[in-house]
């Protein structure tokens, strides 16, 4: 009755818009359909029987073209065959040979794959009213996972199974780290089904409880812990005798490589990404010796900036740590020999004693000014203080990382810093710093139920801003 009602509505819409359907291509009142080699029902997905029969009739390939044709046909059903890539590996190895030669290993793999494809698994459809159970396991070779649900009668309905091989570095991990990595990989693989709802995570190892104790000891474990915190799950210990399928998949993983998306959670390096080895960030009280390498640092997008603004400055011993940051920058600029030379050069350029021969001299003369013994940069009709190299990162930390700053976004941080300060490549460095901020990456990306922070208006101050 419900199907007839829906069908009536669809036909009514077709008539309203003048659309037609070919009758021989229509199926009415069916509880399953065949689609691209799959049999789709309301309860499960299965391989189409006619597709399986055609694969069973395929003879042994004699050329590379026939091998590719067989693999292309079998790939339609790979999700129904656990460990598909491991089984088919001897056949895929033949594709890279200069001269085709069918081996006994390839023949065994060919017959085994046809045997597996003759009885493929039936994968259940996800039921939104039932709780998901994610069962994982890891071995020295790889990791495996099975996603399933249990009905009210206790029947287990497998939704999907997957496996991946460890790379060389991951194969050297401790067994606990491999178990945790398997859980992280499985959660990310089935994120579309698991995110925003509570599920059960089953494993035959106590690695997740171990992670809670040692997550602060190593950066890698901290990243794993942060990734798992994006999901809401209940941990259940699964005895090894009940973890057979994930264990099998982990010991015979597919050829799928695992490249974890961990870059977004990596903490920033000790030095700023935009500053190279010849421009180290120094503390205020440090006395720098003259570098042996006198090569001028290069900023590709800021070649017109005066050289004194981008090279390390040499500071005398200063006891100004208790001063506000703005006063520290003023004191550092006043006592820097490089900035003293730049101020003298600016006066010579303004008086005409030194001719303007290069673009950086023109930039220094027109866009910079000296007032009260300090170098200022003119920005939109106002003056902002030029920040020495040693204080670039301190200014960014003050306006983004400090508790009073509250980790604002990229544009808000740039706007706040631009009110008082300037230095070459400032916007690019702030963007990089905010993008690599560990707290922003782990906290600001919430689930579907997390409320978004309200937008803060930024009224324009000039036309077309």
Question: Which residue in 411, 404, 458 sits closest to 431, CA to CA?
Answer: 411
- pLDDT for res 264: 40
Whether the predicted pLDDT of 454 surpasses 50:
yes
> DSSP alpha helices (H): ranges in 298-447?
325-334, 337-351, 359-367, 392-396, 410-418, 426-435, 438-443
For the segment 351-369, the average pLDDT, to the nearest whole number, is: 87
d(CA 465, CA 463): 6
Q: Is residue 101 very low, low, confident or very high in pLDDT (cuts 50, 70, 90)?
A: confident
Average pLDDT over residues 29-46: 81
Q: What is the mean pLDDT of the chain?
A: 77
Measured CA angle at 191 (ends 188, 197), to 5 deg: 130
Average pLDDT over residues 236-256: 58
- pLDDT at position 461 is 80
Please give the share of the chain, as a percent, with pLDDT higher than 90. 8
Distance CA 117, CA 334 (A): 78
What is residue 37's DSSP assignment?
A: T
Comparison of pLDDT for 322 and 384, the residue scoring more:
384
Least confident interval from 22-26, 135-139, 265-269: 265-269
Of the pLDDT bands very low, low, confident and very high (cuts 50, 70, 90), residue 273 is very low
Contact 332, 387 (CB under 8 A): no
On the question of pLDDT at 385 being above 60, the answer is: yes
The predicted model scores a pTM of 0.44
In the chain, what are the domains?
2-117 (no CATH), 128-265 (3.30.420.10), 307-443 (1.10.340.70)
pLDDT, tens only, 280-319: 333 333 333 344 444 444 444 444 444 444 444 344 444 4
Residue 190's pLDDT band, with cuts at 50, 70 and 90, is: very high
Q: Which residue has the higher pLDDT, 386 or 222?
A: 386
Helix 410-418 × helix 426-435 angle, to 10°: 140
H helices, E strands: number in the chain? 18, 13
**Interval 112-130: pLDDT, tens:** 888 888 888 788 888 889 9
Burial 406-442 (b: 16+ CB within 10 A, else e): ebbebebbbebbbeebbbbbbeebbebbbebbbebbb
Residue 165, phi then psi, degrees to nearest 5: -95, 140
Res. 98: pLDDT tops 90: no
Contact 433, 401 (CB under 8 A): no
* pLDDT reported for residue 315: 41
- pLDDT of residue 133 exceeding 90, the answer is yes
Contact 181, 210 (CB under 8 A): no
Residue carrying the six token digits 């299965």: 46
Averaged over 337-344, what is the pLDDT? 87
Cross-strand bridge partners of residue 202? 135, 236
Q: How far apart are CA 270 and CA 190, in angstroms?
A: 35
Mean pLDDT confidence for 191-202: 91
- Please report which confidence band the pLDDT of residue 193 belongs to, taking 50, 70 and 90 as the band edges: very high
DSSP symbol at 257: B
pLDDT score recorded for residue 256: 54
- Using CB atoms within 10 A of its CB, is residue 387 exposed (0-12), middle (13-18) or buried (19+)? buried
* pLDDT, position 42: 77
Q: Cα(47)–Cα(49) distance, rounded to whole angstroms?
A: 6
Integer Cα distance of 367 and 113 in angstroms: 72
pLDDT of residue 382: 85
Relative to beta strand 368-371, strand 38-41 is unpaired
d(CA 84, CA 75) in angstroms, rounded, equals 9
pLDDT at 243: 53
| pLDDT per position as a tens digit, 202-238 | 887 777 777 777 766 777 788 888 888 889 988 887 7
The 10s digit of each residue's pLDDT in 158-174 is 888 777 777 878 888 88
Average pLDDT over residues 185-213: 85
Tens digit of each residue's pLDDT (9 = 90 or more) over 344-357:
888 888 888 888 88
pLDDT surpasses 60 at 110: yes
Q: Are 247 and 137 in contact (CB under 8 A)?
A: yes
- pLDDT above 80 (res 254): no
Q: What is the rounded distance in angstroms from the CA atom of residue 342 to the CA atom of residue 329?
A: 16
- The whole-number pLDDT of residue 247 equals 55
Q: Which residue has the higher pLDDT, 219 or 433?
A: 433
Cα-flanking dihedrals φ and ψ of residue 407, to 5°? 50, 60
Q: Name residue 147's beta-bridge partners.
A: 134, 160
Q: What percent of the chain has pLDDT over 70?
A: 78
Q: What pLDDT score does 451 carry?
A: 53
């Amino acid at each position: 009755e419900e199907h007839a009602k829906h069908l009536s509505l669809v036909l009514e819409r077709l008539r309203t818009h003048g659309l037609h359907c070919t009758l021989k291509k229509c199926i009415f009142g069916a509880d399953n359909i065949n689609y691209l080699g799959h049999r789709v029902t309301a309860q499960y997905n299965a391989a189409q029987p006619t597709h399986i029969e055609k694969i069973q009739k395929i003879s042994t390939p004699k050329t590379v073209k026939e091998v590719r044709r067989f693999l292309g046909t079998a790939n339609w059903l790979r999700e129904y065959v656990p460990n598909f890539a491991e089984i088919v590996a001897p056949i895929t190895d033949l594709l890279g040979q200069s001269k085709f030669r069918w081996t006994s290993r390839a023949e065994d793999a060919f017959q085994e794959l046809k045997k597996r494809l003759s009885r493929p698994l039936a994968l259940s459809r996800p039921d939104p009213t039932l709780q998901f159970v994610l069962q994982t396991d890891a071995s020295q070779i790889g990791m495996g996972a099975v996603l399933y649900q249990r009905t009210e009668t206790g029947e287990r309905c497998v939704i999907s199974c997957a496996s991946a091989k460890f790379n060389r570095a991951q194969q050297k991990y401790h067994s606990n780290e491999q178990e945790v990595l398997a859980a992280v990989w499985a959660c990310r693989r089935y994120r579309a089904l698991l995110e925003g709802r509570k599920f059960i995570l089953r494993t035959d190892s106590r690695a997740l409880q171990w992670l809670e104790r040692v997550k602060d000891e190593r950066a890698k474990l901290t990243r794993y812990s942060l990734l798992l915190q994006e999901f809401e799950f209940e941990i259940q210990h699964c005895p090894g005798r009940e973890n057979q399928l994930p264990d099998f998949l982990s010991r015979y993983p597919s050829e799928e490589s695992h490249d974890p998306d961990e870059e977004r959670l990596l903490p920033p390096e000790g030095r700023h990404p935009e500053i190279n080895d010849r421009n180290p960030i120094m503390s205020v009280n440090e006395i720098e010796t003259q570098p042996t390498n006198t090569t001028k640092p290069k900023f590709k997008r800021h070649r017109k900036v005066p050289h004194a603004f981008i090279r390390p400055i040499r500071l005398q011993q200063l006891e100004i740590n208790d001063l506000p940051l703005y006063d520290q920058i003023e004191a550092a600029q006043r006592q820097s020999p490089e900035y003293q030379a730049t101020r003298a050069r600016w006066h010579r350029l303004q008086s005409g004693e030194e001719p303007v021969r290069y673009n950086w001299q023109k930039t220094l003369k027109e866009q910079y000014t000296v007032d009260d013994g300090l170098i200022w940069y003119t920005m939109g009709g106002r003056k902002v203080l030029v920040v020495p190299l040693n204080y670039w990162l301190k200014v960014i930390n003050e306006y983004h990382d400090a508790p009073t700053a509250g980790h604002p976004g990229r544009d808000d941080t740039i706007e706040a810093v631009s009110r008082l300060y300037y230095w070459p490549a400032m916007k690019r460095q702030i963007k990089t710093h905010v993008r690599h901020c560990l707290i922003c990456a782990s906290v600001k990306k919430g689930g579907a139920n997390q409320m978004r922070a309200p937008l803060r208006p930024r009224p324009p101050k000039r036309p077309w801003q």
